Chain A
Amino acid sequence: MDKKYPLEASLLSRSYPSKEKIIQLLETRYALNDNPTLSLKPIEIEEIENSNKSLLTNLREEKFKYKKELKKDESKSVFKKFIKNHQRLQKKLKLKIQHYKKSNNLSQVSETLFKEYKELLKFDDFLTMNKLWISYIKDLLCILNDGNLPNIQQCLIKLSSAEFNGCFLRVLKSKNKELIGKNGIVIYDSQKFFIIVEQTNKLKLIEKKGTYFTFVIPIYDYENENIDDNDNNYLEFNIIGSRFQYRSHDRSGKKFKSKSADDL
């Protein structure tokens, strides 16, 4: 249908079957001044398909089609299923190991013996992601390896709208005392959680609310230089989780407002 005049186009569709004809009619005959008027004249009736359907049903069907198309995007639900499945596997593996230990009187059992282990996410697989993230964030903040530091305020503004998938985070402070000290690579940054993979190959959902996260950016070329000599060359930033509760694509265009710090 014509995008400019959807209502008029659907009116005309009662008498003309082809879309091109309608658009052409609208372009030539329709007045473009302040009060648009559509002049109509009787014509000889041609056979029109779907003529038994009323105008409203046509519109409704079109809307319905559009909604169906939206629903086809199932990546989110698949992702949710995957996370849930993964957590279930984790639990299962843990129970199995416990059981195995008890029955065989062993103090330590390697996880690799079990078939569930193969299906779990591995920390080492995400190292590449972390590496990419570090080069991305260095590019973003214009950090060169020559020791020149960027403007702090500019850095903070850029970081607040940056991507955090692949970042290596550590929980600094949290209302939930169990979480303090947990660390790992972020694999997904959802609205209320950071989903991270720990070094022990465990998937963890960490709530953003009431939690502070630390991350570090090295300001030297960590791939070539000796790491042990460069204790002095880091930038440290902290994410205030309570103020960070947006999805990453919402955050990129968001204007943050200043609030009082009473709840931090």
Chain B
Amino acid sequence: MLADLSIPWPVNDYSIITREQFINLKNRIIVLEELQYTHIVINFIINIHEIKIPSNNINPILNQLENFNKFDEFIKRGIKFFTRITIIIEHPNQGQNLSKFYSNFNIISILPKTEKALILACGNLDIDIITFDYNFKIPFFLKHKTIGGGIKKGIKFEICYSSLLSLNSIEKQCFINNFLQLVRSSRNQNLIVSSNSENCLKLRNFNNILNFLKNLGFKDSKILTNVEKVLLNSTLRLKSYKQTIMIGEDPINETNHHLKNPIKRHLNEIDNGEIFKIQLKKLKQKNLK
């Protein structure tokens, strides 16, 4: 499986997207499909200092796409959709309360703007991904000590390749600089690659990107499993209680996308369901005797 963990939602607030933006989103998905991606994560980026979060309907993606009903034709072809929220944090004291997002989004990620915010994200918060703005130089030095704390907790660090493909040469340079800094401070561990591209021109084949990054001095053989682990970790948060007992057999590839899915199952959905039926029959017969 190939997954793109970041396809940005067209708007950064709770306004309703226009028809043009929706078409843009659809066009991106068909290009991703052609490039053999099967799992697509739509990323809602929000600055919680500026935008007030409503008390209900926190997830605008599910809300406006009607639980992905609008993408029905893609789902029929086997593409899985997930939602993600990226919270921009500038002051560490404002990023404390994330609990309301857990039940509404699949993946929680953080974009720290200051070093203090990064320390908070690596140390205290229960999140999946830490990402950076690759169009600009990261305004602080990434220390191995801070990043290492995040790695120990299993947080993944994201590389967004869309700035590499931009026409602006400064953005390209910033990307390479930031990328090398991240590789150095994380010692090639816990990195993931995603596109974060705002239109369909800046999407590329995953292996091509990986080869290019390897030329720059990147040696992670686990990068594909890392992406899978992020999806697994985030879906288990909703579908299981602290990863002890889960609903369903394969949380990533299950056809049921909705966050509040019914747990009732048909026998065909259960792997080797006949065995359980036979068992119940035995119990019934015993009762008759």
Contact = CB atoms under 8 A, between A and B. Distances in A.
Contacts of A124: 286
Interface in B140-196: 153-155
Question: Chain A interface residue count: which class?
Answer: 35 or more
A239 B242 CA distance: 11
Given A130-B283, A131-B286, A216-B276, A234 B245 contact: no
B243 to A, nearest CB: 5
B97 interface: no
A239 to B, nearest CB: 6
A155 B244 contact: no
A178 B249 CA distance: 19
Interface stretch (A12-20, A71-79, A253-261): A253-261
B247 A152 contact: yes
B249 A238 contact: yes
A214 B154 CA distance: 27
A240 B262 CA distance: 20
B276 A234 contact: yes
B277 interface: yes
Contacts of A243: 242-244
Most buried by B among A172, A239, A262: A262
A220 to B, nearest CB: 10
Question: Chain B interface residue count: which class?
Answer: 35 or more
A150 B264 CA distance: 10
A50 interface: no
**Chain A interface SS verdict (over half):** mixed
Contacts of A160: 241-242, 244-245
B144 to A, nearest CB: 19
Interface in A159-216: 159-160, 168, 170, 172, 181, 183, 212, 214, 216
B104 to A, nearest CB: 14
A162 to B, nearest CB: 9
Nearest to B155: A260
A25 interface: no
Contact of B245 (A127, A216, A239): A239
Nearest to B286: A127
Interface of B: 126, 153-155, 229, 232-233, 236-237, 240-249, 260, 262-273, 275-277, 279-284, 286-287
Of all A-B residue pairs in the complex, the 6 with the closest CB atoms, nearest first, are: A260-B154, A256-B242, A156-B241, A261-B233, A231-B267, A216-B276
11 contacts: A131-B286, A153-B241, A160-B244, A170-B275, A216-B276, A234-B264, A234-B270, A238-B248, A256-B243, A259-B154, A261-B232
Given A152-B247, A243-B243, A258-B237, 12 more contacts: A159-B245, A222-B283, A227-B284, A234-B276, A235-B264, A237-B246, A239-B245, A256-B243, A259-B243, A261-B154, A264-B232, A264-B243
